[in-house]
Structure formats: structure tokens, C-alpha cells
Chains A and B, each alone.
Chain A
Amino acid sequence: MTRYRNLSIKQKQIVWAYAFLAIPIVFYGVIRFYPTGNAILISFQDWNLLGDRTWTGLDNYAKLFADPTFWKVFKNTFVYLLIGTPVSLVVSFFIAYHLDKTRFMHGFLRMLYFLPFMTSAVAMAWVWRWFYQPVPIGLFNNFLSTFGIPQIAFLNSTTNALPSILAPAVWAGLGFQIIIFMAGLRAIPQSYYEAARIDGVSTWTVLWEITLPLLKPTIVFIVVFSSIGFLRIFDHVFNMTTGNPGGPLNSTKPLVLMIYETAFSSFDMGYAAAQTVVLFLVLLVVSLLQLRILRDR
């Protein structure tokens, strides 16, 4: 205690600052970094949750890269990313841009768009799952059959299933992105628009030369944020394909679902951890790339 008493006021302040900073650091260390490190460790081991962990070196990774299911799943994960991110970006910008200009029932419309984001993903996935069923229970197919149009196999198809699952996932995330875009749009100083109007610049040019460049930080944020979301897509796929997880012939299975199955139904923790490490690296690389490309040159 005497040592503390001998410190100067400035030093005491530093001690206190670190004492408070230590709380989040310890918290992160215990619930983030320790499990992460442990997962990396397990990826080099064989463990079924019950017995001892045994070292297997790179076996899990070798098995992973030789597994055709993994490559299929890897591809699916990127299809979710490469379709999901641009589509949701464009749609949410389009809606935000026009919603920003709308005065009529503005608050109500914004609420409508934001509502799906607040809805439980599980409930939503099940409702959509039933929408997609064939007759006699599926909403979409009942509608088609009323007009004598042949049935569409939404989920029970190797080609339609993935887009069918992606659609509600995009829709669900839209609300959040719209809100972020609108905040970004509001943050652009009105004086630029006024100057453009005085110069008689066309709407397109305003959009292209003022709005989009100034929205860049917002776009970077949304792209990175939604990319991570699509790379980690799980709850929609899991709930829309329970019973046959990952859809017909794994056509909708994302990496996270494969990890979940390997860990908690096959109890192959080492293999699951190896998949997790791969997912982590993918997320890392994709995020870094996007930040690099989209940052100011």
C-alpha cells in the first residue's frame, strides 16, 4: 500500500486507468482469446468430447482438403457471399435513397423495413420454409397452381434451394443496412447539394459525384459487415433444412453448418476445429481485402 501512496497523482491516474481497462481485457482474454487459442490447438488433435485428446498433427487439415463435401460447402459459402452482399447492398441503398426523399409516412415505412431485422431468425425461417412447400400447404405454390402454372420445387431442388434460402436472409438484414445508409445520407452536408443545384448539375451526376463518394465509409462498413454475416450464415439454413441439414445433396450447406454438424452430431471436435480455423482465416482474408480495396487510395 505504501508503494501506491508514494506515487504521484499522474501515476495514480495511470494505475486507475489500467485497473479499469483490465476488466474488458480480462473479459476478452477469457471468453474470446482463450477459446480461440484452444480451438486452434484442438484442430491438431483428435477428440470426441468424451475421451482423451490425442495429437494428430495435420491429419484434420489433410482430411478437410481431401473431403469433397468441404469443397462443395466452401463453394456454397462463397455463393452466399457473392450473391448476398451485392444484392443486399444495392437493394438497401436503393430503398434508403428513396426513403430519404419521402416525407409521406416516412416513419411508418422505415419501421416496416426495419421490422424483419427485429424478428427472430428462427421464426422467420420456418415461416418461409412453409411458404416454399409444394401444394397443398405452400403459399407460393398454391398461388401458382391457382393460375395453372406448374409447381416450382423451391427447397427440394439442388439449384433453387440456395437462392430460396438466401432471399429471406437478405430481406432480414435489409432493415439494418437501410438505417445505416440513411444515417450516412443525412451526414452529407446539404451545402454540397445546394452548390450542385446552383450549378445545374443533373441528378445522376449528383448521385455519382457527391452522394456515393461521400458515402464511402458507410459502404465500406456495410460491405464488411454483411460479408461477415453471409460468410457465417447459419440460422436460416439450419432452420429451413432441419431434417435434411444443408438441403438436398448439400446444395445449401454453408461452412458454419458443416462445423456444427461435425462437432455436435458427429462429435469429431478436432475436425470441426480445423474447419473453424479455415473459416476464421477466410473471414480474416476477406475482411482485410475489402478494407484494402475500399479504403481511400
Chain B
Amino acid sequence: MNTIKFKALALSAATGIATLLGSAANAVEIEYWQYFFDARVAAMEQLIDNFEAANPDITVKMTHFPYADYRTKVAAAIPAGEGPDVVQLFYGWLNDYVEAELIQPLPADAFPAATIDEEFFPMVQAMKDGDAYWALPTAVRSLALFYNERLLAEAGVEPPTTMEEMIAAAAAMTKRDGAGNLTQVGMTAGMTAQDHHWWREGLIRQMGGEPYMADYTKVNYNSDAGLKALEFYTSLFTGDDAVTAIGFMDEPQAAFKAGRAGMHIDGSFRIGSLNKTRGLKWGVTELPATADGAQSNYSSYWVNAITTKAEGEKYDAAVKFMAYVTSDEAMQIWLDVVGELPAKPSVGLTEANANNDVYGPFIRGLAYANTTKFANESAQRQLMVEMVERITLEGMSPAESLALAAEAEQKILDEYYAD
């Protein structure tokens, strides 16, 4: 190839690239970050495709990385002017992100608080500060009672709807060997899993209590209702008529998956992995009510927020993207792909969704669900674990252990809200 030809070729290649870059510069590119979870990434890819088709001048680049690195990376990137324009975070982290000025409130014209109050399930209001929402979820999760259909049929009992029925069904499904060791439990138990949510927002409220006061800054469960809830919970695995044991088969969901536990309380996020468990025939029903019909549930969610990095046209694009990922259409896609529940009654409580065999109990549970505002979820969960351990391993009375837990949790809250 002679020099002149080569130069011409190089020149045309260079102009070609320049044109490409030029046209790309016309479109706004925004970045979206979330943690890596197969189904969530697949759902988000679908949402981004739909959004880009409707807004050809905007491209969305999704980045995802392991859950463990999430906070560190977001914290390092945004102040450096890198990283996401729209970011996904756990609702419990919101305060930290607001205080660190990593996210900005949603604009009131596109996301009027009054409309959101009306359109979303009420627990979303935890994301509201004054007249502005800081963040909004696409999907929410709640708890329900999973049951093993084979074990239920074998014991000749029906899926329970009240606590009494639950205890009776659990007793019918519990099996022991000759030495009295449990070989099959009626239901699973363990504060390390979802039970601490069930106890806090479910049982205590059902016993007529209020677990926290003053917007979750004051512990209020050291009360009659709290004690009743704790005694009910510990009665499951203490005494001769125990229907379960803490740590049976190491982890509650493992025991349920292995078909050695009749019932199991868990979140909607468990559906996917139970579906993949071969040979397990399971069903799901709402959390058991009290004899007089009191129901309560716990809900948690991941939210999307606009970061302080998004400015100018990127900000406008980010607002449009936020509007799309919190739309009815996006919620239905999220439900179908990930199995997480829509955050709006208008999508969740459609005939088809609310009566769905699998999602229905969770969606109906949202209507009476509460969301705990955690200061430090893992530390607060650990206190519940220790509350039970003091009773089972050290023989402390439930009342005394409850008081200790309440005191320790108040300390965590005080420290967190001190500044």
C-alpha cells in the first residue's frame, strides 16, 4: 500500500470515528448502578431497552457489581464526579446517603408528594422528607407463610390462617426419633432469618403493641404486647411440645428446601430459589392472624434515587428515567422477571396479581405492612438473636431478656440519631 492511499484511508477512518463520536455526543448518556443479582439485571436491561426506544436521545448505561462492594464504590465515585446518575439503594441506607449529600430530592413537579402518597403503598412514605421524596421503589417485598404441600397432606392439615391453626398444624407435622431428637420440624425458627421482622412488625403489632415510637427513634416493645409476642415466639422452640428448634438443619430455608420443615416464614425474594428446588411442592399463604383477626406484616424495598452528580441535561434525562422505572409498566415487568411486588396498588392489586397463587399472599400482605426504619439493620437483628439466645442458652426469663434487648437497641438508635 503506498503512502498516499494509506493517508487517505487513515483520514477517512478518522473522520468516520469523529462523526460517530459527534452523533453520540448529541445523545445524553446517563449511568445507572445496582448490585448484581441475575434477575434484577435482566429486568433492568429490559426496562432500559424500553426506555431507550421511547427516548431515542437518551442512552442508559447500567453498571452492576457485587453487593459487598456496593457502598464503598458508590461513596468513592460520586464525590469524584464519576459513577451513577441514578442509583439503587436499600431503603435503610437512605439517611446516610442524604446526609453525605450523595443524592438529591426528586423534583416536585415531576414527582408531586401528594400524588405519590396517594398512588403508592403507604410504607413508601418512609422516603418522604417534608414535601419532597428522596427516592422511590420499583418493587417492594413482604413476608408470607410458605408451606410444604406434601407434609401438610401427610399430616392431614390445611394451610393455617390463624396462629392457633399454625401451631396445631406445626405440631401435627413435627417428628422425633426414639431419643426425642427432632427429625422434622413443623415450622422453622430463627431470628437470623426473617423472623426478627415477623416479630417486630408482625407479632408485636398483632398482640396490640407498637414496636417503636416517634418515627422509629424510640424503642417501645418492652411492653405487655412485646412480652406476649416474645413468649409466643419462644414457645415454638421451648418446652416438651416444641414444634421447631433454632438452628435445625443449620438454616431455616435449608430445612424447608430439604422438605424437613412443614412451614417457613420468608420474603417474596425466596420464591425464585424455591422454584428451582427440585421435588419440593410448596404453597404460600398470608402470615397467620390472631384469633380476633389482627394482621400485620413487614415490608422492605430497594429504591432508586438521583445522585448529586446528575446536572443539566443529564439531570433531565435522569428524571425521565426515574419516572419510567417507577411507572406501572416497569412494575409489572419487575414482577414478571424478578418476582418482586409492585410498589403501587394500581399494579399490585389488579385482579390477576392479587389473586395469583404465589404473589397474591405477599401483595395482600402489603396492605397491612409496616416498614421498620433501621439505624443499623444487622446490629439491630443481632440484638433479637441474642434476646432469644439468653432465654434458650442461659435460661433467662423472657421479660428480663426483652428489657435488655430494648435497652441495647435504644442505645443504637440514640447514637445514630444523636447528630
CB pair B100–A50 under 8 Å, yes or no, is yes
Interface string of A266-284 (1 = CB under 8 A from B): 1100000000000000000
CB pair A156–B71 under 8 Å, yes or no, is no
| Cα(A125)–Cα(B72), bound, Å | 28
In the complex, B99 has a CB within 8 A of chain A = yes
Residues of A within 8 Å of B68, CB to CB, are: 264
- Chain A contact residues, majority secondary structure: loop
In the complex, B192 has a CB within 8 A of chain A = yes
The smallest C-beta distance from B220 to any residue of chain A, in angstroms, reads 23
CB pair A50–B183 under 8 Å, yes or no, is no
In the complex, B55 has a CB within 8 A of chain A = no
The smallest C-beta distance from A274 to any residue of chain B, in angstroms, reads 15
In the complex, A137 has a CB within 8 A of chain B = yes
In the complex, A200 has a CB within 8 A of chain B = no
Residues of B within 8 Å of A134, CB to CB, are: 181-182, 245, 247-248
The smallest C-beta distance from B284 to any residue of chain A, in angstroms, reads 23
In the complex, A212 has a CB within 8 A of chain B = no
The smallest C-beta distance from B395 to any residue of chain A, in angstroms, reads 11
Q: A215-269: which residues lie under 8 A (CB-CB) from chain B?
A: 243-245, 248-250, 261, 264-267
Residues of B within 8 Å of A156, CB to CB, are: 246-247, 393
In the complex, B389 has a CB within 8 A of chain A = yes
The smallest C-beta distance from A159 to any residue of chain B, in angstroms, reads 9
Residues of A within 8 Å of B382, CB to CB, are: 244-245
Residues of A within 8 Å of B190, CB to CB, are: 243
The smallest C-beta distance from A240 to any residue of chain B, in angstroms, reads 10
CB pair B102–A249 under 8 Å, yes or no, is no
Give the residue name and chain of the B residue nearest to A261 (CB): B378
In the complex, A48 has a CB within 8 A of chain B = yes
Residues of A within 8 Å of B118, CB to CB, are: none
Residues of B within 8 Å of A177, CB to CB, are: none
CB pair B246–A49 under 8 Å, yes or no, is no
Give the residue name and chain of the A residue nearest to B245 (CB): A134
In the complex, A24 has a CB within 8 A of chain B = no
**Given A244-B192, A249-B386: A133 and B250 within 8 A (CB)?**
yes
Q: Which of A51, A158, A243, A249 contacts B96 (CB 8 A)?
A: A51
In the complex, B376 has a CB within 8 A of chain A = yes
| Cα(A136)–Cα(B75), bound, Å | 45
The smallest C-beta distance from B100 to any residue of chain A, in angstroms, reads 4
**Given A137-B250, A145-B181: A248 and B389 within 8 A (CB)?**
yes
Q: Which of A51, A52, A135 contacts B181 (CB 8 A)?
A: A135
CB pair A248–B393 under 8 Å, yes or no, is yes
Give the residue name and chain of the B residue nearest to A268 (CB): B376
Q: Which of A129, A135, A249, A267 contacts B250 (CB 8 A)?
A: A129
Give the residue name and chain of the A residue nearest to B71 (CB): A49
In the complex, B394 has a CB within 8 A of chain A = yes
The smallest C-beta distance from A83 to any residue of chain B, in angstroms, reads 21
In the complex, A151 has a CB within 8 A of chain B = yes
Q: Which of B181, B246, B376, B379 has the most CB of A within 10 A?
A: B181
CB pair A50–B249 under 8 Å, yes or no, is no
Interface string of A144-173 (1 = CB under 8 A from B): 010010110001111000000000000000
Q: A31-66: which residues lie under 8 A (CB-CB) from chain B?
A: 48-52
Q: Which of A137, A150, A249, A265 contacts B389 (CB 8 A)?
A: A249
CB pair A136–B260 under 8 Å, yes or no, is yes
Q: B165-218: which residues lie under 8 A (CB-CB) from chain A?
A: 177, 179, 181-183, 190, 192-193
CB pair B97–A50 under 8 Å, yes or no, is yes
Residues of A within 8 Å of B181, CB to CB, are: 134-135, 145, 151
Interface string of B60-94 (1 = CB under 8 A from A): 00000000100110010000000000000000000
Q: Which of B96, B179, B245, B376 contacts A50 (CB 8 A)?
A: B96
| Cα(A267)–Cα(B181), bound, Å | 41
| Cα(A151)–Cα(B181), bound, Å | 8
| Cα(A85)–Cα(B19), bound, Å | 69
CB pair A265–B179 under 8 Å, yes or no, is no
In the complex, B390 has a CB within 8 A of chain A = yes
The smallest C-beta distance from B390 to any residue of chain A, in angstroms, reads 7
In the complex, B219 has a CB within 8 A of chain A = no
Q: B97-112: which residues lie under 8 A (CB-CB) from chain A?
A: 97, 99-102
CB pair A150–B179 under 8 Å, yes or no, is yes
The smallest C-beta distance from B175 to any residue of chain A, in angstroms, reads 10
In the complex, A143 has a CB within 8 A of chain B = no
The smallest C-beta distance from A131 to any residue of chain B, in angstroms, reads 11
In the complex, B231 has a CB within 8 A of chain A = no
Q: Which of A49, A129, A248 contacts B75 (CB 8 A)?
A: A49
In the complex, A192 has a CB within 8 A of chain B = no
Give the residue name and chain of the A residue nearest to B78 (CB): A50
CB pair A148–B179 under 8 Å, yes or no, is yes
Give the residue name and chain of the A residue nearest to B260 (CB): A136
CB pair A249–B394 under 8 Å, yes or no, is yes
Q: Which of A51, A130, A261, A264 has the most CB of B within 10 A?
A: A51
The smallest C-beta distance from A190 to any residue of chain B, in angstroms, reads 53
| Cα(A243)–Cα(B382), bound, Å | 9
In the complex, B251 has a CB within 8 A of chain A = yes
The smallest C-beta distance from A35 to any residue of chain B, in angstroms, reads 14
Residues of B within 8 Å of A129, CB to CB, are: 250
**Given A136-B260, A137-B249: A51 and B379 within 8 A (CB)?**
no
Give the residue name and chain of the A residue nearest to B97 (CB): A50
Mind listing 17 A-B residue pairs with CB under 8 Å? Answer: A50-B99, A50-B102, A129-B250, A133-B247, A135-B183, A145-B177, A145-B179, A156-B246, A156-B393, A157-B393, A243-B193, A244-B192, A245-B382, A250-B386, A264-B68, A266-B376, A267-B71
Besides A51-B96, A51-B100, A135-B183, 17 other CB < 8 A contacts?
Answer: A49-B71, A129-B250, A130-B250, A133-B249, A134-B248, A135-B182, A136-B183, A137-B249, A156-B247, A156-B393, A244-B192, A248-B389, A249-B389, A261-B378, A266-B376, A266-B378, A267-B71
Q: B-side interface residues toward A, CB under 8 Å?
A: 68, 71-72, 75, 96-97, 99-102, 177, 179, 181-183, 190, 192-193, 245-251, 260, 376, 378-379, 382, 385-386, 389-390, 393-394
Give the 7 A-B CB pairs with smallest separation, nearest first.
Answer: A50-B100, A51-B100, A243-B192, A265-B378, A50-B75, A135-B181, A248-B389
